[in-house]
Structure 1
């Protein structure tokens, strides 16, 4: 059985986002000190974005922050836009990536609302 100390966890984090901050706090409350990737400072390239999307088991649209004004300006809200187009846009403009995304041995998911992260924690957390 895993303990929080040996449970490798990564959070793709935006410290300006309240939900992201609350998710990070929840991880820490459960004894998990994740690797924090501030994706606006260290953007994910297309291959990394594709890997996260594959781990989530969703299409690229699930990772797109459609509320972002830039998404509208770039026409990304159009359902006809392909996953390739969305991934390219998120790689070029990391603000378009929704957050927080948490990766653990139990899965990878967008944690909105932040309580969704609890489903990714080890049974002992």
Structure 2
């Protein structure tokens, strides 16, 4: 099985999720450092749809100016546009496998799609 993780190596939860993926038997891990190689707006929309969540639920508030910009209450298109322009607004880690997508907070959530 292939697993793609949108990863920030400075994030403890992201590092722990990556460790779970690397230790899982039969999992080929693709690591994308999303701050260096951000997903497109279309890919973000697909990830949130497949995760069963809104872009607003995937918005990173801590350490960003999202709240000051009114993004938590903005419509999905506005949030996706902001995330595509400033990937720091994407909460992480997002993991995609053939079984689905999860925002792995806490990191154990990744087990649902392995």
Query: TM-score, normalised to structure 1's length?
Result: 0.85
CA separation in 2, counterparts of 1:21 and 1:97? Answer: 16
1:45 Cα offset (Å): 1.6
- The Cα offsets for residues 44-73 of structure 1, whole Å up to 9 and x where unpaired, read as 121111111111121111111122332123
RMSD: 1.1
Larger RCO, structures 1/2 (Cα 8 Å, 6+ apart): 1
Secondary structure of 2:42 counterpart:
helix
Partner of residue 107 from structure 1, selected from 79, 100, 106: 100
Q: How many residues align?
A: 113
Give the structure with higher Rg (CA). 1
Name the structure with the higher strand share.
2
- Structure 2: runs of 5 or more not aligned: none
Give the TM-score taking structure 2 as reference length.
0.93
> Which residue is equivalent to 2:31?
36
**Secondary structure, aligned partner of 1:12:** strand
2:89 corresponds to: 96
